[in-house]
Structure formats: C-alpha cells, structure tokens
Amino acid sequence: MNIVLVHGVLGAHIFAGKPYFNGVAEHLRTRFGANVLETDAKPIGTVKVRSKELREQIIRHFGTAPGQQLIIIAHSMGGLDTRQMLTDHPDMAPQVRSVTCIATPHHGSPIATLLNVANPLRFDDFNAARDLSEKGARAIDASCPDQPNIVYREVVGIGREGKQRTAKFFELLSMVIKEKENDGAVPASSALAGRTLFERVHADHADLVGHDVDDAPHFRPRAYDHLPLYERIAQS
C-alpha cells in the first residue's frame, strides 16, 4: 500500500514542528504496513509551483513505476496541487489509484478572496491566496478535469457538533463565510463542488488533520478522532 499525504497552505511544519497529518503516517504504517510519503512543498507557493514539487517528491520516494498504485490523500490546498499535477503531468495518472481531497476549496474560500484583495505583494510564485480565492480556485477547478481510471472523492468538514462549531482560532475567520455549513476555512459547497462525496465530517479545518488549534502549542486532537477516517480512506 503506497500512500501520499499532501499538506495544505502554510506548509508541512505549521503545527509547531509536529507532523501536518498528526500521527497519520505512523498509524498507517503500523496498521497496514503502508509505504507513506509526507510531502513538503513551499508554504505559500502557487498551485503550479507546489504541484511540480509534489511530482518531484513522489518520483524521488516511489520511483517512476511503484509496485502498487498510489493512494493520494490531500488536505485543503493539497487537493488543488494534486489535481494540477495530474493535469500537467498525465503520465503520473497510471500510477494513481485514488485521490481523496479533504476540505479542499475547489471553488475557493471567501477568506482567501479577502486576503488576496488585501495582499499588496503579488509575487508570481508565492501567491497562494490568489489560487485559493474563489476566482482563482474556480479557474483551477475548471482547467483540471478528473483523469480517467482514478477514483476521486471528497471529505467535507461541516464544523463540530454542539455549540462550539470550530476552534476559537477559526471563529473570526469564518465570519466572512456566509454559508452555514463550513469548517471555519472552507464552505461545504466549495469542498464538495459537485464532486463525489466520501464523507461529511463534524470537524473543523484543522481537526481533519488531527490538530485542535485551541490546544497550542501541543495541538492534540481533542475535538475529533481523525485516525479512523484515514483508515477508511486507505481501505476503500
């Protein structure tokens, strides 16, 4: 079982040096004997830049002809990176069995739209906010059709159950999201975007990768037990 974990915006080391996918790689190695690659792309690089890095890291880790097809699990911007990689390099498609996007803003995030408008520095290769904005992400979505013979599916975060729908960190950010169902960063409609639903999950954006951001600097997964989700993805 070959698994690629593709991180989102702000980089693989955003959670105080802890794994971006908290405990996931170790769990999948122990549970299934999986060969797991945890990617590490430019934190605020564009989708084009990050997708190129993703391809290079996959080839470096697995070679050009892995013994088993890849199971790609991508969080947030990582889903756009993955789709862009497969569009720009269709030779990679035969190596991929499935692509599961977790809280990926296929139609963008209003938060990124606001950040993009407020961003005075528009460096071509370091403008992740542009690609994550509603206009930018929709353009990527339209130009990156699904590749034949790959199973694509979406995990949609709809916020925690109970009164506190997200970690406090996301409460202010989510005020710019008009849609009721969201994970504090991405509207549910953008994460699904008419694609194939795998699961709708009561978790916020960081819960989905095993981090409660209210628990800094430990970031323990207090609000949601994320590891069974990754088992289900790997087994499906």
Q: Please tell me the distance from the alpha carbon of residue 190 to that of residue 134, in angstroms, as a whole number.
A: 9
Q: Residue 17: its pLDDT value, please?
A: 85
Q: Please tell me the distance from the alpha carbon of residue 149 to that of residue 100, in angstroms, as a whole number.
A: 14
Q: Residue 120: its pLDDT value, please?
A: 55
Q: Residue 126: its pLDDT value, please?
A: 63
> Using one digit for the tens of pLDDT, what is the confidence trace for 95-114?
999 999 999 999 999 999 98
- List the Cα angle 176/211/201 in 5-degree steps: 65
Which residues lie below 8 Å from residue 12, measured CB to CB, with a gap of 6+? 19, 20, 38, 39, 40, 41
Q: Residue 31: its pLDDT value, please?
A: 97
Residue 122 confidence (pLDDT) above 60:
no
Query: Cα separations (Å) of 70 from 44, 113, 117, 153, 181?
Result: 25, 32, 37, 15, 31
Q: Residue 119: its pLDDT value, please?
A: 64
The encoded tokens of residue 2 equal 């070959």
8 Å CB contact between 185 and 179? no
Residue 61 confidence (pLDDT) above 60:
yes
Residue 118 — very low, low, confident or very high, per pLDDT cuts 50/70/90?
Answer: low
What is the average pLDDT score of the chain? 94
> Using one digit for the tens of pLDDT, what is the confidence trace for 175-204?
889 899 999 999 999 999 999 999 999 999
DSSP class per residue in 192-219: HTTS-EEEEES--TTGGGT--GGGTTT-
Q: Please tell me the distance from the alpha carbon of residue 236 to that of residue 110, in angstroms, as a whole number.
A: 32
What class, spelled out in words, does domain 2-225 have in CATH? alpha beta
Residue 52 confidence (pLDDT) above 80:
yes
How many beta carbons lie within 10 A of that of residue 43, not counting itself?
17
DSSP helix/strand/coil, 151: strand
Where are the domains positioned within the chain? 2-225
